[in-house]
Chains A and B, each alone.
Chain A
Amino acid sequence: MPSSSKLKNLRKLLKKQSERNKCRFTRARVYSIDYKDVATLQKMVSQQGKMYGRKRTGTRSHFQRKLKRAIKRARFMALLPYVGR
C-alpha cells in the first residue's frame, strides 16, 4: 500500500498534468487570436507550415476555429508560409 505522502505527491502530479493538457488560449483567458502574434501562431504549426490538430495541442474547438482564421490571415500577409520553410 502506498503511504499517504506518496498519494499526495501522485495527486499533485496528476493535477499538474491536467493543468498542462488544457488549451493554452483557455489558460491565457483570451478573447480572440491575433494574426500578428507570429510567435504564438508558430507554435501551432509544424515545420512544414501545416496546422497541428487539436489532439496534439489540446486546443478547445472554439479557439481552434479562431486559430484557423488567424493562421490563414498570417499566411496571406506572408507572416507564415503556406508550405515549407
Chain B
Amino acid sequence: MTTRNYEAMFILENNAASADFDGTAGKVDEILEKHGGTIVQKDKWDERKLAYEIKGQRRGTYYLVYMTADPASVSSMYEDLHLTEVVLRFMFIALDKPIEEHIATTEAERERLAEDSRRSSLGWGGGRRGARGAPRKRDDKPTGSAETGSAEGGDKPAEATTEAKADDSAPATSGEKPAGDDGAAGTPEKEAASKS
C-alpha cells in the first residue's frame, strides 16, 4: 500500500462549528480515519466571512488537517464528505514533501513574503504610478518654497490621478504607505538626477 501526504481543508457550517467545534470536526476526522487515513495534525484554521455564499452560508469555519493516506482511498473519502451536511466544501492537496517540512517551509515563506512587502517601497507588484505618486506628494510640500511655481503646477494633475487610482484599487493604497518611508529618502536623489 502506498501512502501519500495530504493537506485537507474543510469549510464547516458555522452554526454547528461555533456551537460544538470538536463535535463537528470529529465527524470529519471519523470519515478520514474510517477510510484508512492517519491524521498527523489538525487545527481550527480560522472563522471568517466567505468570499461568496456557499449553500446559503455567508460565514464559515475553516478546518485544516494534515494526514497520510492511500491515494486509492481518497475517492471514497470524497463520496462520504459530499454526503456530510456540516461540510460546506473541502479540498485535498497532495504534498510533495514530508508534512513537518511542508508546514515549516510554508510558514517561513509566508513570513518572508510579508517582510518583503513591508520593506518594499512598492508594497505591491510593479505599480509604477503608485510608487512615483506617493513620494512626489510628500516632497512637494517642503521643497515647494524653494522650487518655482511651475514645478508645482506640473505635479498637481499627476497627484490627482494617483489618488483616483488609489481609490479604485485597494492594493495601491496599501502600497503607498511603505512607499512613503523609502520615498522620502529617495527624493533628494531623484532631484539630483533630474538636474543633471
**Residue ranges of A at the interface with B (Cβ–Cβ < 8 Å):** 2-3, 6-7, 9-10, 12-13, 16, 20-21, 24-25, 27-32, 34, 36-37, 39-40, 42-44, 46-47, 52, 55-59, 73, 75-82
CB pair B126 A21 closer than 8 Å: yes
Chain A residues near B164 (CB-CB < 8 A)? none
CB pair A57 B126 closer than 8 Å: yes
Known: A10-B196, A28-B113, A78-B50. 20 other contacts (CB 8 A): A3-B196, A6-B193, A10-B193, A27-B116, A28-B109, A30-B109, A34-B106, A34-B109, A34-B110, A37-B113, A42-B170, A43-B124, A47-B170, A57-B124, A58-B125, A59-B125, A73-B93, A77-B62, A78-B54, A81-B51
CB pair A44 B54 closer than 8 Å: no
The yes or no answer to B25 lying at the interface (CB within 8 A) is no
Q: Using C-beta atoms within 8 Å of the partner chain, give the interface range for chain B.
A: 35 or more
Chain A residues near B62 (CB-CB < 8 A)? 77
Residue of B62, B125, B127, B195 with most partner-chain A CB within 10 A: B125
The yes or no answer to B72 lying at the interface (CB within 8 A) is no
Name 25 A/B residue pairs within 8 A (Cβ), A-sorted. A10-B192, A13-B189, A16-B121, A16-B186, A20-B120, A24-B116, A27-B120, A30-B109, A30-B113, A34-B110, A36-B9, A39-B114, A40-B110, A42-B171, A43-B125, A43-B174, A55-B126, A58-B126, A73-B91, A78-B50, A78-B54, A79-B51, A80-B51, A81-B51, A82-B52
Chain A residues near B27 (CB-CB < 8 A)? none
In angstroms, Cα B170 to Cα A43, docked, is 8
The yes or no answer to B117 lying at the interface (CB within 8 A) is yes
Chain B residues near A13 (CB-CB < 8 A)? 186, 189-190, 193
In angstroms, Cα B125 to Cα A68, docked, is 15
Residue ID in chain B nearest A85 by CB atoms: B51
Residue ID in chain A nearest B95 by CB atoms: A32
The 3 residue pairs across chains A and B that have the minimum distance between CB atoms: A57-B125, A2-B196, A58-B126
Residue ID in chain A nearest B114 by CB atoms: A39
The yes or no answer to B32 lying at the interface (CB within 8 A) is no
Residue ID in chain A nearest B53 by CB atoms: A78
Chain A residues near B126 (CB-CB < 8 A)? 20-21, 55-58
The yes or no answer to B133 lying at the interface (CB within 8 A) is no
Residue of A2, A32, A43, A57 with most partner-chain B CB within 10 A: A43
Chain B residues near A76 (CB-CB < 8 A)? 89, 91
CB pair A78 B51 closer than 8 Å: yes
B91 to chain A, nearest CB (A): 6
8 Å CB interface, B92-146 against A: 93, 105-106, 109-110, 112-117, 120-127, 131
